[in-house]
Amino acid sequence: PLYLERMGMRAIGRVLSIHHKTVSRWLVQAAQALPASSPQTEACSFIEIDELCTFIAKKNLNVGLASGGSIFGKVLGFVCGRRTIKTGKLLWQQIKHLPTMGYGTDMLKADENFIPHAKHYAGKTFTTQIESLNCRLRHYLARLHRKTLCYSKSKTMLEVSLKLLIHKLNNP
C-alpha cells in the first residue's frame, strides 16, 4: 500500500528499516502474484487511447494506455515503449477485440496506421477521460511525477509499478 500512495522504494526502505532492494523484490513478487487480467468482454461505448511520457534512467519513454467502457477510468491495456507504430500496434493487439463504437486519440500520426479510419476520432476532445486517468497515475506513483528525483531505472520496474497500480484502480 505504501508504494501505491506516492512513496518511493527508498522511502519505504527507510520507514521499514530495510534495504530498498528488498522492497523492489517484494513489488516484483506482488505483481507476479496478481491474477492474469481477465479480458474485458463487455462492449465499450468508446475507447480512449493516449500516451504518458516518463523517463527510464535518462531516456525518454512513453506508456501507451487504453481506457474505456461504460465506467471510464478503467485501464483496458498498457504498453511501455517509444512513440512508434510498433508500440501502438502492441497496445492495439490488447484492445482490438473489444466491441466499441469508436476510438478517441490525440492527434498522434502513428495511430492512423492501426486504428480503422471509420472508427477513429482524433482530437483532444476525445481524450479527456484518459488524460484524467494519466493525472491519477502520476498522483499515485512517485516515479511518474514530473520534475522529481524518483524515476525508473529499468523498464521492468516501470511495468511492475504500473501493473500493481492499474490492478488497484481497476479493482477498488
pLDDT tens figures, 75-108: 888 888 888 888 889 889 888 888 888 999 888 8
Q: What is the pLDDT of residue 33?
A: 93
**pLDDT range class, residue 116, cuts 50, 70, 90:** very high
What integer pLDDT is reported at residue 70 of this predicted model? 44
SS3 content of the chain, % helix, strand, coil (to 5): 45, 20, 35
When pLDDT is averaged across residues 22-35 and rounded to a whole number, the result is 92
Name which of 3, 6, 12, 5 is nearest 142 in CA terms: 6
What is the pLDDT, as a whole number, of residue 121? 93
- Which percentage of the chain shows pLDDT scores above 90? 20
Question: Residue 118: what residue type?
Answer: A
Q: Is the pLDDT of residue 62 over 80?
A: no
